[in-house]
Amino acid sequence: MKCTNKCLALLTALAVCFGATGCSDEAIAFSYNPDYKVSAFRISGDTGFETADAFASGLCVVNGDINTDNSAVDMTDATSAGLFDLNSRTVLYAKNIHERLAPASLTKLMTAVVALKYGNPNDVITVSSNMGNLESGAVVCGLAEGDQLTLNQALHALLIKSANDAAVAIAEHIGGSVEGFADMMNEEAQAIGATNSHFVNPHGLNAENHYVTAYDMYLIFNEALKYDTVNEIISMTSYDTVYTDKNGNEKTLSVKNTNQYLAGNVAAPDRVTVIGGKTGTTNAAGNCLILLARDTSGNPYIAVILKSAERGILYTEMNALLEQATS
């Protein structure tokens, strides 16, 4: 109690000093109150007052490499990787977890987060003429100027086929422009703690100053999984729908999942079920993959690998990573 009184006396003296002639030209209001419910002044042993929750109280937190000397996890050909136990909020594996790297189409998870936060799945998108401005060879679903489809339909094309034209259509609908939407992406990244990332487009095609970290991708995917629409879409193996062109004629969209686990081309380790996720590949980003998986008890995990050398190696590495969830 004496310590508390001395602290209060010192702080009061400082407040008087700042408000008195000779210390400052104008009085400065003392901003602390010993009765504030989360104040550090309440150190006298009182009970019943509230405390502030830490920002990361419900998140996995990691500073550096974890378990990289595990011979069962060969990440030689991957630049960065992480495995996160969502129930225990424990990081089971981490390699170069905070290194800034190109994310390729993993970017589209942040696009989905912003779209669902600020849009409605039933919104009708009218496609602009910008669909032809994508780089040569970019994956598209065939959208043309004047086409109309719902945001929900566009999100399916975005997350299942990884359609870059769908990403642009979403960005222009929500943000007014690709640039405006990128600003929204960066604001949302900051809000969820992904402060080591920066976006300049909604699709992840090669661009200067467009990067994430494996840890930030965990934060972004964790945020995306709060939306039922995302959970539904990432678990789908294929999707068929009908939208209209500029003349009102029907157009059919049929897409298949690029995730090799969901496509049935790669088997997950025993006692692990892959629920869904997002793939990404560009020359700059290499081969990238982020997954939501569950063990036989239903416990959820997020696993992410950035910049693996080849697609085949990527899935071998991912299986080695997922096996750590049940070891």
DSSP label of 161: I
- Phi and psi of 117, rounded to 5°? -75, -40
**From 162, 197, 307, 308, the catalytic residue:** 162
Whether residue 117 lies in the annotated active site: no
Cβ count near 13 (within 10 Å): 10
Catalytic residue among 80, 95, 108, 307: 108
* 297 is annotated as an active-site residue: no
Strand intervals (E) in 33-106: 78-85, 90-95
Cβ-in-10-Å burial (0-12, 13-18, 19+) of 46 comes to exposed
Active site residue 162: yes
> CA 83 to CA 324: how far, in whole Å?
8
| Cβ atoms of residues 308 and 288 within 8 Å | yes
Q: Is 161 annotated as a binding residue?
A: no
**How many other CB atoms are found less than 10 A from the CB of residue 23?**
12
70, 92 Cβ separation under 8 angstroms: no
Coil, strand or helix at 153: helix
Q: At 106, which amino acid appears?
A: L
Which residues have a Cβ under 8 Å from the Cβ of 107 and sit 6 or more positions away?
A: 167, 199, 201, 202, 203, 204, 210, 212, 280
Q: Which is catalytic among the residues 80, 95, 105, 161?
A: 105
Contacts of 159 (CB under 8 A, 6+ apart): 108, 109, 112, 230, 233, 234, 278
The sheet carrying 124-126 orders its strands as 124-126, 148-150, 238-244, 250-256
Please classify residue 308 by burial: count the beta carbons closer than 10 Å to its beta carbon, then call 0-12 exposed, 13-18 middle and 19+ buried.
Answer: buried
Annotated binding site: 278
Catalytic annotation, residues: 105, 108, 162
Annotated binding site for substrate: 278
